[in-house]
Every structure is written in C-alpha cells, then in structure tokens.
Copies of this chain bind each other. A is one copy, B any other.
C-alpha cells in the first residue's frame, strides 16, 4: 500500500515476475501462486498478492480491470458511458453516443468472436478537482 523507495529483489519477487512474464494466459493471483509454488514450495499467497500489487505500481506488470469496490447499478438503461472519480469514487454519466469503429478493428486483430465492448472513463469529479487544485497552491 505504501510504496517503498527501493525495490529489493528477493527470490519470491523474482520468480513471481518471471512466471508472470512467461505466462500468456493473464493468470489470476491464485493461478500464478500455483505455478510459483512449484519453484518455491513455501511461498505464501499473501506474498503473491503483495508482489503483484508492488510490481504493478512500479509498472513492471499490468493489472487488468481495476475496480475493486462494490458493484454499482444504474436505473437508466439508455446507452451511455460512465466516469469514475479516482479520488472519491463518485460516478458520473457521459452521455456519448455509442462509439464505433474500433469494434471492427478489434475483430480484425483477434481470433475471438468479439461481440461487444465495455468502455469507461476515469478522472476527477468537479469537487475533487477543486480540492486537488487547492493542494497544489
């Protein structure tokens, strides 16, 4: 959670990184743990989680689909997108028409049968933007 200044390269960290780098299946922490444990039988799940967090904070790996909190619901079913405030979590509407063009492009470069997409924006809501501006004064 609190990012340390130096990254110590322990055996656990190195193996986690190596196994993830050579894995092309986008594994979950759990799946990766199973693979890593073949090389380091005593490693704990907590270490895997901690390292995945630290390594992605440092940009050495990528974490897919952020969005840990609770799921949210919308009573409005019309087509529109959402913005999430990175500071307070508030969600706003983005009343854009469906964006197209990249569905066709995506189909061209994937062997999946692509049926749709999910798009969401992130940034700061008006009041958090103001708060943050104050801090930089």
Contacts and interface: CB of A to CB of B under 8 A. Distances in A.
Interface SS, A side = mixed
A24 to B, nearest CB: 8
A4 B83 CA distance: 33
Nearest to A83: B112
Interface of A: 17, 20-23, 25-30, 32, 52, 56, 59-77, 81-83, 85-86, 90-96, 99, 101-103, 105-106, 109-126, 129
Q: What copy number does this chain have within its complex?
A: 2
A64 B82 contact: yes
B105 A96 contact: yes
Nearest to A126: B111
A71 B62 contact: no
